[in-house]
Chain A
Amino acid sequence: DTGVSQDPRHKITKRGQNVTFRCDPISEHNRLYWYRQTLGQGPEFLTYFQNEAQLEKSRLLSNRFSAERPKGSFSTLEIQRTEQGDSAMYLCASSNTGGSTDTQYFGPGTRLTVL
Chain B
Amino acid sequence: AQSVTQLDSQVPVFEEAPVELRCNYSSSVSVYLFWYVQYPNQGLQLLLKYLSGSTLVKSINGFEAEFNKSQTSFHLRKPSVHISDTAEYFCAVSDRFPTSGGYQKVTFGTGTKLQVIP
Interface residues of A (CB under 8 A from B): 4, 6, 31, 40-45, 48, 50, 55-56, 91, 93, 97, 100-109, 111
Residues of chain B within 8 A of A105, CB atoms compared: 46
Per the CB 8 Å criterion, the residue count for chain B at the interface is 28
Check if B61 is an interface residue, CB within 8 A of chain A: no
Is the pair A106, B103 in contact by a Cβ cutoff of 8 Å?
Answer: no
Q: Identify B110's interface contact among A40, A50, A101, CB under 8 A.
A: A40
List B residues at the A interface (Cβ < 8 Å): 4, 9, 32, 34, 36, 41-46, 49, 51, 90, 92, 94, 98-99, 101-106, 108-111
User: Could you tell me if B34 and A103 are in contact, using CB atoms closer than 8 angstroms?
Assistant: yes
A55:B102 contact, CB within 8 angstroms: yes
Choice from B32, B36, B43, B111 contacting A101 with Cβ under 8 Å: B32
Contacts of B103 in A (CB 8 A): 31, 48, 50, 55-56, 102
Q: If the complex has contacts A55-B101, A56-B99, are A108 and B106 also in contact, measured as CB distance less than 8 A?
A: no
A31 to B108: give the CA distance in the assembly, Å: 19
Instruction: Find B102's partner among A6, A50, A91, A101 (CB 8 Å cutoff).
Output: A50
Inter-chain contact A42/B108, CB cutoff 8 Å: yes
Q: How far is the CA of A50 from the CA of B101 in the complex (A)?
A: 9
Contact of B43 among A50, A56, A108 (CB under 8 A): A108
